[in-house]
Amino acid sequence: MPDAIILSDGIAEAIVRPDLGAGLAAYDLLRDGTRRPLFRRAPEGTADPFALACNVLVPWSNRIAGGGFSFGGRFHRLAPNLPGEPFPIHGNGFQSAWRVAAATAQSVTLALASDGPGPFRYDAVLTYALAGGALTMRLAVTHRGTGALPYGLGLHPWLPRTPRTTLHAPAAHVWLEDARHLPAGHVPVSARPEWDFSTPRPLPAAWVNNGFDGWNGRARVDWPDRGLRLTIAARGGRGDALRPLSRYLLYSPAADAAFFCVEPVSHLVDAHNDADPAAAGLFVLAAGDSAAIECDATPG
């Protein structure tokens, strides 16, 4: 696998692709002499970031509509970055080659200096670390531009979907989407029982690509047919730079899909065009300001 870095603590193994957006090609539990994927495994040597086990989202998550956004009295233009996708999506970190800043057998720190997209000028630092089988992912960004800008961060793991998979991820509201995959209002999760994960429940059989807010930062995936469990725990508020993740996106195209995604993110879809970007989860960074997110994935 080109430019791959393998991390192992004897309980779990993660394969990192610095050349492919600093994403993960695998996160596996090593049990009884077998390798059991906790995130889906990427095809050997893939060059497609969306075939990976996890993507890194910086300097924003998901879509920004309208050709860009207005902030600080200016319109900041952004171009689409994926074929067939009319809106710029997920920033540019997932499409960039990152530099290895430090590495051990159980951890790696990667760095990216980006002049773009659009008005964004930033430095990003990403650390993956394994301990006791748990994977910690920490992503930090520092704004290098001359004027303040709204930033957002997120993680995009791809999880195996089996017929008996259940998800427990309590949230207050679910955001509906229109035909362009943009927000179309929100309702209490209790109004959509098939999307109410306040107790463990099977994944929806039909298409789901929705944002959830009022999340406490914890989600649990159970695979009873595999004898596996994974807990996702987002941290926040332990310092000026560490921001809470109180939202997640749930994506699964169909019941027969081999994957689904639970994406811890700082902000709502198209938050840059929200009437109140800060309330939608973005954080405004002046030159030299930093922000970070941190999330653990723990097998059980």
Q: Which of 183, 147, 178 is nearest to 61 (CA)?
A: 183
Q: Which residues pair with 196 in a beta bridge?
A: none
Report the candidate in 129, 120, 140, 174 with the shortest Cα–Cα distance to residue 243: 140
CA distance 256 to 71: 42
pLDDT at 240: 66
Fold of 5-299: Beta-galactosidase; Chain A, domain 5 (2.70.98)
| CA nearest to 50, candidates 74, 71, 25, 32 | 25
Cα of 2 vs its chain's centroid, Å: 23
**38: exposed, middle or buried (Cβ count in 10 Å: 0-12, 13-18, 19+):** buried
Residue 239: per-residue pLDDT? 63
Cβ atoms of 295 and 154 within 8 Å: the answer is no
In 120-258, which ranges are E strands?
Answer: 121-131, 134-143, 149-151, 154-160, 166-168, 173-177, 183-188, 201-202, 208-213, 218-223, 228-235, 247-252
CA 262/CA 264 separation, integer angstroms: 7
CA distance 267 to 248: 8
State the alpha helices, DSSP H only, in 168-210: none
Tokens of 188: 């209490």
Burial class of 88 by CB neighbour count within 10 A (0 to 12, 13 to 18, 19+): buried
Instruction: For the chain, 300 residues long, give each residue's pLDDT as a single digit of tens.
Output: 568 999 999 999 999 999 999 999 999 999 988 999 999 999 999 999 999 999 999 999 999 999 999 999 999 999 999 999 999 999 999 999 999 999 999 999 999 999 999 999 999 999 999 999 999 999 999 999 999 999 999 999 999 999 999 999 999 999 999 999 999 999 999 999 999 999 999 999 999 999 999 999 999 999 999 999 999 999 876 566 899 899 999 999 999 999 999 999 999 999 999 999 999 999 999 999 999 999 999 999
- Assigned token pair, 246: 């109180």
Give the pLDDT confidence score for residue 237 in this predicted structure.
Answer: 63
pLDDT reported for residue 238: 59
Pairing of strands 154-160, 166-168: unpaired
